[in-house]
Chains A and B, each alone.
Chain A
């Protein structure tokens, strides 16, 4: 079981508050992106986030732009996983493609608060909080394979090497 400290946010956290548009077309390495993570939502986050921390949020996390930096910056900031009742479609893909696990948890997120400890068992599809456990649906095998390879680019490199 992976355990982590929680940062809790509300519904509809959009890509503009995760990674502002003004930085989107500036060449930037992931480490620099991490310095701007959640800048317009929670200016404390980027300063205080620790590797292994977990974001727990409300519905429709990552709505808005297709900007992949919204996922990359959180991954680079050390976020181990994001748990929410639902994710925007493009953000969901971007997160998987960046090697950042996203967990669709239908119930239990309301009770989780900033600073809580949460455990995640990816193999069994279980989230643990405050002595209670909640199941989440496994990812389709095609998608899981990308995550397991550490993201889309290493995954495709592996496939291309295998077929060469």
Chain B
């Protein structure tokens, strides 16, 4: 019997020929990620009684969640992290301004095929877009990894999500993943390893595959996976931090479920408050007034996202009474967007450019909402209270839908602009 991607990679890491679903293994991850939560992790680490991080080169730390510090508490948090990094000789440290961890890690060449990556952030699933096995863990577990470099993992069952056909512009990977989550539910893939395949995924850009894997967690998945190909190799060509070996599922692997979707008939989708699986076609929510539009985050802050928004906003203006926040996911993207004139277009249209980072996505600073307000956002979560007031609403959509809605001031079908 063949093995799924999850079985193959966990078996390899555990030094086993084969592995059963449900089997618990103790492994050593290749790369571990933490961000602004590193100070708290460092405090837990201190309780273990091990004086130094065992293998500092395993750890990548990116300051992105509350950057630059908007309060003294955050500033202190960042200061403690810088000290921890220095004391422990952690070289792979990216200070404020480099971007969101899930963008910086691939850009710096750490998200590689066949790598096992764990992060104390739930959207660590993003690196599956490169054929890595990547999953979120908690802070105590990261502290233990500092001390021992080892952790236990259970081998998950796998789902195969096959997407036939092609998406039609401006329908994007975001609409597709919202549709998938809306169909199978917020717990539809609970604890599963989700392998995306099919024609639509094969033709997809790396950035779009990152959207699919980023949001795998929103249906409860342990990890997401797209088979690495020429596009992966091209992306990694000048970036890869070391050698890598691609890992593919066997043809006769056993899946708990195979689910098929058709991309060709799909239109823009929107997740309504307050759960990500509360999804409907944009037509059903069109006309809903918004006060804020957010373009960015680890889900949709990349060049293709900014470009499609700029295409819609070119020569137009953001509606009166709407705040359009623009957050490129990284410094690299900001520079490219500046060079291409995309930022110029977005700002001339009335967009407010914020620094690369998480921005208001987690509700800690920069552009949170007052009671009674609504935001249409390209982020991955619309939970109650996540972006400011618990009496505010978050709608999730694609960059095109966010841009179109920013122009009209109400949730709008972006196809009207194409």
A88 near B220 with CB under 8 A, answer: yes
Is A16 in contact with chain B by the CB < 8 A criterion?
yes
A151 near B140 with CB under 8 A, answer: yes
Contact of A88 among B39, B76, B190, B364 (CB under 8 A): B190
In the complex, what residues of B have CB within 8 A of residue A93's CB? 137-138, 141
B147 near A21 with CB under 8 A, answer: no
- The chain B residue with its CB closest to the CB of A97 is B140
1/0 per residue A86-102: CB within 8 Å of B?
10111001100110000
A26 near B77 with CB under 8 A, answer: yes
Is A140 in contact with chain B by the CB < 8 A criterion?
yes
Q: If A63-B220, A156-B144 touch, does A21 touch B186 (CB 8 Å cutoff)? A: no
1/0 per residue B62-89: CB within 8 Å of A?
0001100000011011000000000000
In the complex, what residues of B have CB within 8 A of residue A71's CB? 138
Within 8 A of A (CB), among B5-48: 24, 36-37, 39-40, 44, 47-48
B73 near A27 with CB under 8 A, answer: yes
The interface centre, meaning the residue of A21, A22, A94 with most chain B CB atoms within 10 A of its CB, is A21
A153 near B47 with CB under 8 A, answer: yes
In the complex, what residues of A have CB within 8 A of residue B355's CB? none
A66 near B120 with CB under 8 A, answer: yes
Within 8 A of B (CB), among A118-164: 140, 142, 151-153, 156-157, 160
Contact of A66 among B121, B144, B152 (CB under 8 A): B121
A26 near B73 with CB under 8 A, answer: yes
Cα(A86)–Cα(B124), bound, Å: 22
Cα(A154)–Cα(B60), bound, Å: 26
A17 near B383 with CB under 8 A, answer: yes
B: interface residue count bin: 35 or more
Is A109 in contact with chain B by the CB < 8 A criterion?
no
Contact of B384 among A16, A25, A60 (CB under 8 A): A16
In the complex, what residues of A have CB within 8 A of residue B186's CB? 12, 60, 63
- The chain B residue with its CB closest to the CB of A164 is B49
Cα(A59)–Cα(B219), bound, Å: 12
Is B337 in contact with chain A by the CB < 8 A criterion?
no
B140 near A21 with CB under 8 A, answer: no
What's the tally of chain A residues with a CB closer than 8 Å to chain B?
A: 39
In the complex, what residues of B have CB within 8 A of residue A63's CB? 186-187, 220
Q: Give the shortest distance, in Å, between A64 (CB) and chain B (any CB).
A: 6
Cα(A73)–Cα(B118), bound, Å: 23
Is B264 in contact with chain A by the CB < 8 A criterion?
no
Question: With contacts defined as CB atoms under 8 Å apart, how many contacts are there between chain A and chain B in the complex?
Answer: 131
Is A20 in contact with chain B by the CB < 8 A criterion?
yes
Is B280 in contact with chain A by the CB < 8 A criterion?
no
Cα(A156)–Cα(B149), bound, Å: 12
Is A40 in contact with chain B by the CB < 8 A criterion?
yes
Is A68 in contact with chain B by the CB < 8 A criterion?
yes
In the complex, what residues of A have CB within 8 A of residue B49's CB? 157, 160
Cα(A48)–Cα(B144), bound, Å: 34
In the complex, what residues of A have CB within 8 A of residue B137's CB? 66, 90, 93
In the complex, what residues of B have CB within 8 A of residue A40's CB? 384-385, 390
Q: Give the shortest distance, in Å, between B384 (CB) and chain A (any CB).
A: 6
A20 near B140 with CB under 8 A, answer: no
Is A65 in contact with chain B by the CB < 8 A criterion?
yes
Cα(A151)–Cα(B147), bound, Å: 16
Contact of A90 among B24, B138, B147 (CB under 8 A): B138
A142 near B363 with CB under 8 A, answer: no
The interface centre, meaning the residue of A25, A63, A153, A156 with most chain B CB atoms within 10 A of its CB, is A25
Q: If A63-B187, A88-B220, A156-B48 touch, does A25 touch B141 (CB 8 Å cutoff)? A: no
A22 near B141 with CB under 8 A, answer: no
In the complex, what residues of A have CB within 8 A of residue B414's CB? none
Cα(A11)–Cα(B185), bound, Å: 11
A16 near B190 with CB under 8 A, answer: no
Within 8 A of A (CB), among B280-329: none
Is B209 in contact with chain A by the CB < 8 A criterion?
no
Q: Give the shortest distance, in Å, between B61 (CB) and chain A (any CB).
A: 14
Is B374 in contact with chain A by the CB < 8 A criterion?
no
A152 near B141 with CB under 8 A, answer: yes
Is A24 in contact with chain B by the CB < 8 A criterion?
yes
In the complex, what residues of B have CB within 8 A of residue A152's CB? 140-141, 144
In the complex, what residues of A have CB within 8 A of residue B235's CB? none
- The chain A residue with its CB closest to the CB of B368 is A22
Contacts A21-B386, A156-B147 known; list 8 others, CB within 8 Å: A16-B384, A21-B363, A25-B364, A66-B138, A86-B187, A97-B138, A153-B44, A160-B148
Q: List 16 A-B contacts (CB under 8 A).
A: A11-B187, A12-B186, A12-B187, A16-B383, A16-B384, A22-B363, A25-B73, A27-B40, A27-B77, A64-B381, A65-B121, A66-B122, A66-B138, A89-B222, A94-B139, A153-B47
Pairs of residues from A and B, 7 with the lowest C-beta to C-beta distance, nearest first: A60-B187, A21-B362, A40-B385, A16-B383, A94-B138, A68-B138, A66-B136
Footprint of A on B, CB under 8 Å?
A: 24, 36-37, 39-40, 44, 47-50, 65-66, 73-74, 76-77, 119-122, 124, 135-141, 143-144, 147-148, 152, 154, 186-187, 190-191, 220, 222, 275, 362-364, 368, 381, 383-386, 390
